[in-house]
Amino acid sequence: MGLKSKDLLGMKQLTAEEIMEILDTAKTMKLVLSSANKKTSHLQGKSVVTLFYENSTRTRLSFELASKYMGSASANISTSGSSVNKGESLLDTARTIDMMGTDIIIMRHNQSGAPHFIAPHLNASVVNAGDGMNEHPTQALLDMLTMYERFDTFEGKNIAICGDIYHSRVVRSNAIGLSKLGAKVSVYGPKTMMPVGIEKMGVRIADSVADCVKDADAVMGLRVQLERQQKSLFPSIAEYSHFYAITPEMLALAKPDAFLMHPGPCNHGVELPTAVYDCDQSVINEQVTNGVAVRMAVLYLLMARRNNL
Amino acid sequence: MKTLIKNIKILGSDSDKIFITDGKISEAFDEASADEVIDGKGATAVPGLVDMHCHLREPGGEYKETIATGSASAAKGGYTSICPMPNTNPTADNAAVISGIIKKAKEADKCRVYPIGAATVGINGELIAEMGLMKEAGIVAVSDDGHPIKNAGIMRKVMEYASDFDLPVLNHCEDKSLSEGAMNEGEVSTSIGIRGIPTAAEDIMIARDIILSEYLDIPVHICHVSTKGGVRMVRDAKARGVKVTCETCPHYFTMTDKCCENYDTNFKMHPPLRTEEHRLAIIEGLKDGTIDAIATDNAPHHQDEKDCEFSVALNGILGSETAFALGYTYLVKTGELSLEKLVDLMSKSPSDILKLGRGTMNIGDDADIALFDLEHEFTFDKNTMLSKSRNTPYHGWKLYGETILTLMGGKKTYEKLQ
């Protein structure tokens, strides 16, 4: 039991078996979450630190709650409240946290590869909570948990992802993780936001939103950062929502029992009309709950590995 | 002063001895009359190598490298002539800075240092620099290196004015409006989430410079070509008679962008490592004569500038101490090039582009000689480097062609401890 690596850097580093173990563990953790007394002792006497160089609401809070539900001492560092602003290097900051006896460091950073860079230098386990445009593995795991609760298997399932593919670490982690479990991922977005060679990651590039979501078992919208308009990646919000949004008509092209996901935060009326966000097929709010369960599972399995060594 | 080097193989000669009298290659003399006899132990003697593109960092970057350490590092690689780029601080865009570089180089006395002057003031791409005065001070070419002149009108004026002084213009071709990334754009950059630099960024400026060269009938030299398209355009232009020359670097024929997969910043440089298709095109360009020279683009950086996040790390790798061994191991041992061709690409050919008069071992020439052990494999160890920096991706590589001895004007500038 446990994970092979000291760290959770990305879906790239996980095997299909490890992914399934995390998802199965997360299902158990969800029972804890739904109980009256949300407390376990798995992390008692352990310490977890979140080190966030980028803003976050749900990822950070869900990690923090997950660690507290499991009894760990936990602390938070953000760019505004530490020596980061005094120009300390990432590695020095990470080593400082490490030398305080921290068991797990959960880091979000705006540079791809930042957790990969620090992890080999630390005793603590490093969990990637989003690095630049590279990966966001716990988001993909919570997305997959949400699917796993509805699918008996990932094999052959069609997953459609629409939006800003280029900048999305959520897409990369989902594409890698879902492909490892046999699902078929289709992506679509403006060509200005489509990275070169994405098809080599095992995904299909669709021709349109309709082509992407047709016969999908699950449909995922992505947040489009509105400031991208200033970089000429799309001409206007009106045009974006007209051609690239997941409308009720588009969602109707998916399988009848398909469900709609979004990693949040959502720009209502841009990538998703509010009516779609709130529709019966939407599981967006449940994804948030699953985020806590998956993060409990990840912390539990990483700690199990540490305890066994 | 008479020196005899014996028990060696000599490129292009059946002799096993080189005779040096007062710093110059001379007619044979009696071994008994030699002041010094060096036993080459079967190593191969070639003309001292010429690096037409390196960075010595002085003035301004002495924490990375100095002219003294950079020259010593080059001598360890078998180089006797090196051409530092002008991106120093202050910029080498005036005769005073050039004179200072040459003075320091003479004090160090490890390599002949032929500075390259800035093409424009402050390498800003706006006003042409004092090329004539810099030539009087000792420059052999002009370049804005990593800050290529983006304005085609300024580039035209630089080429025209430089040609008045018979100064070659060397251009690092990169359209920066296309290259806001940290590695080659492609499957690997997408997979690891690093912004990419498309080959088109390089190709567009190569095309522009070839067009200007052809229109003006003035030579232009393309620095460190890394793309298949660049090789093709230079090949086609040469066939039409355009006066274009180009260089590449060992990293472009030994590695690909796959090396960046683990975010190791020692694989980060400009232009970036490309894909296998481009690597093979570079080798093809070396074989058919499209590429005129192998330079190092030796770029020392401090540990703190490399031991950080990939996109934050500075561009560039060390190359002086590995260039010949990489060329020998990856081009000659593999049968792609003859040893003669490799040595020409690394000595006489770049010397000819810059009109340095180096790269030969004829009687009467300055005794600029490098001895390489071509027989024994060695493991390259970054901890043995003479550079002040350690940013090499080649640590631990098994190579052939270790430097045994380097002589500049008959004087030992590097000798491997036995």
Q: Which domains are present in chain B?
A: 48-360 (3.20.20.140)
3-state secondary structure B308-360: CCCCCCCCCCCCCCCHHHHHHHHHHCCCCCCHHHHHHHHCHHHHHHHCCCCCC
Active site residue B297: yes
A253-280 exposure pattern, b = at least 16 Cβ within 10 A, e = fewer: bbeeebbbbbbbebbeebbbbeebbeee
- Contact check, Cβ <8 Å, A117/B309: yes
Note the ipTM here: 0.91
Assign A84 a pLDDT band (cuts: 50, 70, 90): low
Shortest distance between the Cα of B303 and any Cα of chain A, in A, equals 12
Interface residue B303 vs chain A (CB under 8 A): no
- Per-residue pLDDT of A103-119, as tens digits, reads 999 999 999 999 999 99
Are the beta carbons of B262 and A116 separated by less than 8 Å?
Answer: yes
CA distance A109 to chain B (A): 10
Over 80: is that where the pLDDT of A81 sits? Answer: no
User: For residue A83, what pLDDT band results from cuts at 50, 70 and 90?
Assistant: low
The span from the CA of A101 to the CA of A98, in Å, is: 6
The reply to whether A71 touches chain B by the CB within 8 Å rule is no
**What are the tokens at B194?**
């690093």
Q: What is the mean pLDDT of each run of 10 residues along chain B (418 residues)?
A: 96 94 97 96 97 98 98 98 98 98 98 98 97 98 96 98 98 96 97 97 98 98 98 98 98 98 97 98 98 98 95 96 98 98 98 98 98 98 98 98 98 89
Q: Which of A113, A198, A200 sits opposite B192 (nearest CB)?
A: A113
B residues 204-263 near A, CB within 8 Å? Answer: 262-263
Compute the half-sphere exposure of residue A141: CA atoms within 13 Å on the CB side of its CA.
Answer: 36
**pLDDT category, A1, cuts 50, 70, 90?**
low
Task: Domain ranges for chain A, please list them.
Answer: 11-135+288-308, 138-284
Residue B337 and residue B413 in contact, taking contact as beta carbons nearer than 8 Å: no
Averaged confidence pLDDT in chain A: 94
pLDDT in tens, A140-170: 999 999 999 999 899 999 999 999 999 999 9
Task: Choose the CATH number for A11-135+288-308 among 3.30.1490.20, 3.30.530.20, 3.40.50.720, 3.40.50.1370.
Answer: 3.40.50.1370
pTM summary value: 0.94
Chain B residues with CB under 8 Å of A132 CB are 193-194, 311
- Identical fold, A11-135+288-308 and A138-284: yes
Which CATH number among 3.40.640.10, 3.40.50.1370, 3.40.50.9100, 3.20.20.150 corresponds to the domain A138-284? 3.40.50.1370
Given this model, what pLDDT does residue A225 score? 83
Res A82 pLDDT > 60: no
- Whether chain A has a CB inside 8 Å of the CB on B264: the answer is no
Task: Name the residue type at position A298.
Answer: V
